[in-house]
Chain A
Amino acid sequence: MNPWVMLAFPFAQHAFLAASFVAAAAGWIGFYVVLRGTAFAAHALPKIGFAGASGALLLGVNSLFGVSLYSAVAALGIGALAERDRRDVATALVLALGLGTGALFLSLGNLYAEDAMSLLFGQVVGVSALGVMETACVSAAAVLVVAAFHRVLLFTSVAREAAAVRGASNRIADWALLVGLGLATSAMMPVVGALLSFSLLVGPALAARHLVRRPWQAILTSVTLSLAVTWLSLFLSFALGWPVGFFVACLSALAYAIARAASRIFDRRPLEGMA
């Protein structure tokens, strides 16, 4: 179908609006994810959110509520377990438990194939006007959390020892990022789906890191790229009828590949001249 024609319909407009809020939040938070190298947590939280959404479907409550609750508990769980054990082990275990309960909810609710697919890969055309409002609020909250801790997040990532001496706690930074990620996940899940939220978090931000040096420039570039990737993906998805997530993943990877090649050609090194 012609995507320009589709844009006249309210459902397509809602989809574009919701996806834009989500993309901006993902690009912003992705900057910190890349800076701190917490790819695993960024990958795990959306998947756990999927379990929360299937639980909400089973009980018949708002899926945003289920995703938020599950992401929040998972973020706290990962944070708490990581204080006693290795972070990646803690993340893997919480992820497995979350997904296990998700599988149970799906089978108990007889929600198989179709519902699971839309949760995993996004159901962007199903967003209502109220859904757009919810998405906007949660995305804004996610950005506010990380923005409030911007200096701590930056300082503890770039110069951990110096930050410790000056009293900036790495633990607080970790928690802030996990909470921000959890919130962003709740906003992203219904739109791009659990499996591909991760692409949007990491791809544009990694690309931005190869293109510019200063933190604020990197955040702006990352947000811009993320928006561009999302809009183009929605457009292609409307035109071809294939899942949005597929295009999001391919275009994010493409953005990263191009940025990396460009930084090679112009011989710029990521974020090293900054400190």
Chain B
Amino acid sequence: MTLGWIQEALASAPVQHALVAGSEIAFLSGLVGAFVILRGQSFAGHVLTDVGTTGGAGAYLVGLNGWFGFLSFGVIASVGMELAGGRTRGERDLATGVVLSLALGFGALFLYLDAQLAHANASMAVLFGSLFTLDPALVPWISSLAAVCAAAMLLIWRPLALASVNPELARVRGVPVRAMSIAFMVVLAVAVETDALVAGSLLATALIVGPAAAAARFVSNPLRAGVAAGVLGAAIVVASVLLSYDSYNWLPQHTSWPVSFFVAALAFLAYVVPAAARRFGVRRMAEVTEA
């Protein structure tokens, strides 16, 4: 089998843009994801994607690029969620849930109106991603925003890790815990909402949680786990883009399989396979020692 199709894929401009923007944002997502897991904020991350749906659908409604809608709603929601707080995680989740369902209600309305006003594809782009139809003018913006956020994470990772694991100790050491969590939520919002372009608002969580959960099994230092997750995430996106490009020829009816499917499936595999392999390996070792 020749690998000519890869060269052919790489020569196409939409694929190039998809690869550049997608892998950068996936790296940021992995980096942020390690801290999301450390802080137990998977639900918050997921909520941001749903709020983003509302923003993205609203942006199409008024004729803006979806990304601006995702981003503005996500950042506002992230700060709001952090300020609303809650005594326990369960209670915080429930309060978040009510805000979330309200946002989803409006998202439903906006998507419905989008469909009525003949942006039939807008709703699918919002929900399932639009990496191949990315506006080339946005690529530099996405790249620089991802770079700034990644730099910010590298700058604050040590006090952030301390504040995540032991807030009391962090406060004693003079770490501004509250400001730290707000800053983190904003970076998380940027990562999640830009993922929504790659994988759609329904699936943005995959890139945050999947690679980070896989990395957390092998690396305990949060920074190293973050970087490992980022590299893994970028690899997943590159593989997904190429597979989606090639999948046009897989079935007789010639439909491209969506990028978001490959992202979700590969992220899940990255999490499950090492665990299974390790378990199997451990069992084998135990058998050998017993024998």
Interface residues of A (CB under 8 A from B): 34, 36-40, 42-43, 47, 84-86, 88-89, 91-93, 95-97, 99-104, 106-108, 110, 112-114, 116-117, 120-121, 193, 195-196, 198-199, 202-203, 206, 242-243, 245-250, 252-253, 256
Task: With A195-B50, A202-B101 given, name 14 new contacts (CB 8 A).
Answer: A39-B90, A88-B43, A89-B42, A89-B213, A100-B268, A108-B257, A113-B115, A114-B115, A116-B127, A121-B111, A199-B102, A243-B112, A246-B106, A253-B98
- Which label, helix, strand, loop or mixed, suits the secondary structure of the B interface? helix
Given contacts A113-B123, A113-B124, A203-B98, contact A248 B105 (CB under 8 A): yes
Name the residue on B nearest A42 (C-beta). Answer: B97
- B115 — which chain A residues lie within 8 A by C-beta? 113-114, 117
B88 at the interface (CB under 8 A from A): yes
A-B CB contacts (within 8 Å), total count? 184
Name the residue on B nearest A249 (C-beta). Answer: B105
- The 9 A-B residue pairs with the shortest CB-CB distance, nearest first, are A37-B90, A249-B105, A100-B264, A96-B206, A199-B101, A88-B42, A104-B261, A39-B93, A92-B209
- A113 — which chain B residues lie within 8 A by C-beta? 115, 120-121, 123-124
Name the residue on A nearest B107 (C-beta). Answer: A195
- Which label, helix, strand, loop or mixed, suits the secondary structure of the A interface? helix
Q: When the two chains form their complex, are residues B121 and A100 in contact, meaning their CB atoms are under 8 A apart?
A: no
- A106 — which chain B residues lie within 8 A by C-beta? 128
A91 vs B262: C-alpha distance in the bound complex, in angstroms? Answer: 19
Q: When the two chains form their complex, are residues B206 and A252 in contact, meaning their CB atoms are under 8 A apart?
A: no
Would you mind naming 9 contact pairs between A and B with Cβ atoms under 8 Å apart? A36-B90, A43-B100, A93-B213, A108-B255, A206-B94, A206-B97, A245-B104, A250-B105, A252-B101
Q: When the two chains form their complex, are residues A37 and B93 in contact, meaning their CB atoms are under 8 A apart?
A: yes
> Which of the segments B76-84, B170-178, B197-205, B223-231 contacts the partner chain?
B197-205
A47 vs B107: C-alpha distance in the bound complex, in angstroms? Answer: 15
A40 vs B97: C-alpha distance in the bound complex, in angstroms? Answer: 8
- A101 — which chain B residues lie within 8 A by C-beta? 261, 264-265
B18 at the interface (CB under 8 A from A): no
- A47 — which chain B residues lie within 8 A by C-beta? 202
Q: When the two chains form their complex, are residues B91 and A108 in contact, meaning their CB atoms are under 8 A apart?
A: no
What's the nearest-Cβ distance from chain A to residue B264, in Å?
Answer: 3
B251 at the interface (CB under 8 A from A): yes
- B271 — which chain A residues lie within 8 A by C-beta? 93
A248 vs B90: C-alpha distance in the bound complex, in angstroms? Answer: 23
Given contacts A88-B42, A103-B203, A116-B127, contact A40 B105 (CB under 8 A): no
- B121 — which chain A residues lie within 8 A by C-beta? 113
Given contacts A39-B96, A88-B42, A97-B268, contact A196 B104 (CB under 8 A): yes
What's the nearest-Cβ distance from chain B to residue A44, in Å?
Answer: 8
B20 at the interface (CB under 8 A from A): no
Name the residue on B nearest A244 (C-beta). Answer: B108
Q: When the two chains form their complex, are residues A117 and B104 in contact, meaning their CB atoms are under 8 A apart?
A: no
What's the nearest-Cβ distance from chain B to residue A54, in Å?
Answer: 11
B147 at the interface (CB under 8 A from A): no
Q: When the two chains form their complex, are residues B104 and A40 in contact, meaning their CB atoms are under 8 A apart?
A: no
Q: When the two chains form their complex, are residues A108 and B42 in contact, meaning their CB atoms are under 8 A apart?
A: no
What's the nearest-Cβ distance from chain B to residue A222, in Å?
Answer: 13
Name the residue on B nearest A33 (C-beta). Answer: B94
- A202 — which chain B residues lie within 8 A by C-beta? 94, 97-98, 101
Q: When the two chains form their complex, are residues A103 and B200 in contact, meaning their CB atoms are under 8 A apart?
A: yes
B194 at the interface (CB under 8 A from A): no
- A104 — which chain B residues lie within 8 A by C-beta? 257-258, 261
B46 at the interface (CB under 8 A from A): yes
